[in-house]
Structure 1
Amino acid sequence: MDIRIEPAPEAQRRGKPTDESKLVFGNTFSDHMFRLDYREPQGWVDARVAPYQNITLDPAAMVLHYGQGIFEGMKAYRCRDGRIHLFRPFQNFERMNRSATRLCMPTIDVNDQLAALETLLRVDHGWIPHSMGSSLYIRPTMIASEPHIGVRPAKEYIYYIITGPVGAYYAEGFSPVSIYVSDEFVRAVRGGVGEAKTMGNYAASLFAAEVAKKKGFTQVLWLDGIERKYIEEVGTMNIFFRIGDTLVTPPLTGSILPGITRDSVLTLAKKWGMDVQERLIDIQECVDAIQSGTMTEIFGSGTAAVISPVGSISYKDKKYTVRDGGVGDLARRLHDEIVGIQYGEKEDVFGWVHEVKI
C-alpha cells in the first residue's frame, strides 16, 4: 500500500506530556493520524498520514443514522532498550475485519492495516511513553460516510487510526475493583452483534454503567439477554473465575467479544498446567462459590487494563466479597507475565510481540 505522509507544521504540533505518571487514559492525542477512504467501485484509496484533524461528515452520513461504525483497541510499548512493541496486532486486525463483515462493511488486508499503523508510529514515535505501565493507545476506526437516508449498507467509508499516550485505565491501578451485576438491562443477545467491536454495543451499556457508578461500582457484570442468569462479560473486559484449581470463563457463543487478552490468558493458563474451562456459568453458581470459599479469584481481562482483579460483586443489592477482597495470585502472575512480554522483560515463547522498526 502506497502511503503518503503529510507532516504537521511545527506550529500545529502539541506539547507532549512531561510527567508520565499523570497521564489520564483517553484525554491526550498525538500529532498525526492515518486515513484511508473507500468508495464504490474504486475500493480503498488515498492512504495517508496527515496532521490530527477533524473529520467532516455530511449530516446524512450513514454512520449517524444506521450505526455502521467499528473500532479496535491496541497499544504500542516502549521497551527499556528503546525497542517499540505491538502485542498480537494481527489478531486485532483480523477481529476488525470480522466486525466489518458482520456490519456489511469492507475489509482491509491485515498486512495493509499493519503497514498503515507502523507508518503512523514511525512519524509519531516520540509520543510513545518511556515508563513501564504507560503506553501509546491505538484506536483504528471505520465509519460509514456516504450521505444517504435509507437502510442499506453504505457505499462510502472512512478508515482512520488515532493514537495517544495513556497511563492506567482505572484510577485504582492494579487494585481490586467492585462490580455491579445487572439483571435488569442486557448488553447483547446471541445472534446479534455482541461479538463485534461496534459502537452500538457500548452505547447499549452506558445506562447500566451509570446506574452502577451512582451506586459506587466500577463496572457492570452482564448476564445473558434471554434467561438473565448466565454470566457473559464485564463492561470493558472479558471475565474469569478461579473456582478451586479450575479457571472458568464464559464461552464465545456470539454475544461476547472475543478478547485478545482473553485468549492470551487462556493460552498462558494452559501452558502453566491449569484446568481451563470455557463453559456457561450462572450467577447463582458464582455467588454460591464465593460464599463457600471455593471461589478464590475473579478478574477481568482486556487491552486497556490488561488484568483487573475483582474484589467484590453486588447482586440483588447484596455484596459478595471474593476471598479477602485482595489481588489473587493468578491475577498477579498473569498481569506480570503479559506486561513483561509486552515490554520485552519476559521471553515471548508464543511469538505474540511484533517489533516496529523506527
Structure 2
Amino acid sequence: MPRPMPPKVVEALETGVNLVKLWEAADPEAELSRVAGDVGALAVGGHVRVDGPYMERFPRLQLVSSFGVGYDAIDAAWAGGRGLVVTNTPGVLDDEVADTAMGLVLATVRQFPAAERHLRAGRWIDGAFPLSHTLRGRTLGILGLGRIGKAVAHRAEAFGLAIAYHGRRPQEGVGYRYCSSAVALAEACDILVVITPGGADTRHLVDAAVLKALGPSGILINVARGSVVDEAALIAALQSKTILGAGLDVFSEEPEVPQALLDLDHVVLLPHVGSASHHTRDAMGQLVVDNILSWRDGRPPLTPVAETPWRGSYGAPSGSR
C-alpha cells in the first residue's frame, strides 16, 4: 500500500495479508526497493499514479486493487497486456454519486447556496432573494450512460425531466433519446450531467463548442473527472454568460480550484464528495479488501476492469506476498 487508505481497509488487510505500509517507512524509496521483488498485489487510491514503469518495479505483481470506480490513474491497458489484473469498486457507489449529481442539479438551477448566503449575511431583512430558475420543462442530458448515469436518469425522471444521452453507441433496451455526439447532446438538453470515465480518451470532451451548444439557459454538472471538461473554456463560458451556471464536484488540478470559479456566484462547488459518505466509502473499502483476499486465495477477482479480464489465472508468478 503506497499511501494511506481508509483505516478499515488497512486493518482488514493487516489481518489477511503481509501488508507493507510504504508511507510509514523512514525511507519509502529504500523500502520499496527492499520489498518490490516479493510484492504480488497493490492496494491503491486514486491519488497514486500506477503506470507501466511503476508496475515493472514489482516482478511478481499480479493484482492492482483500486479504491474508486474511476481508474484513469492506472495504466490498465499496460497491465492487461501483461496478464495482470486491475480491479475497481463499481456498483457500491452508484446511488451516492447519482444523489450528488441531482443535489448539484437542484442547488445550481434553484441557486440554493446563494440563497443561503443571502440569509446568513442578514440580507433577507433588506429584501427577498431574487427569483430562481426552474426544473420545469427542462431536458437533462447524460454524457456517459453507465451504471451511475442510469441511476441519475432514474432520479431525473422522478423530477419530471426528459432524458437524452450520448455514449460510444446507442444502448439496447434504453428508451432515452440518443445523441450522436457531445455537441448534439448539449444542443438537445438544458442540463448536461457529465459522468463519463476520465483518461486520455475523454480529456476535454466538454470543450468550448459543447458549452456554446448548451447555450445561455444551460447548466453544466460534472461529477466525473475534472479532465473531462476544459476548465479554461468553462470559466470563459461562465464569465461571458454563454451558459447559465455550473455545479462541479471535480476539478482539473485537485485540490486546487481556480480563483475565477470561486469568484462566480452562479457556480456551485463541492470538494469531490460524490461518494463521500461513511456507508459508501466503507463498501468501497471492503471491495478493495475482498478483491485482494480473492487473489490471496487463488480465486477470481470480483470486479476486474474491462482492460484486464479474468482469464482463469493471475498472470505473474506465484509465491508473492
TM (norm. structure 1) is 0.24
Q: Which has the greater radius of gyration? A: 2
Query: Which has the larger helix fraction?
Result: 2
TM (norm. structure 2) is 0.26
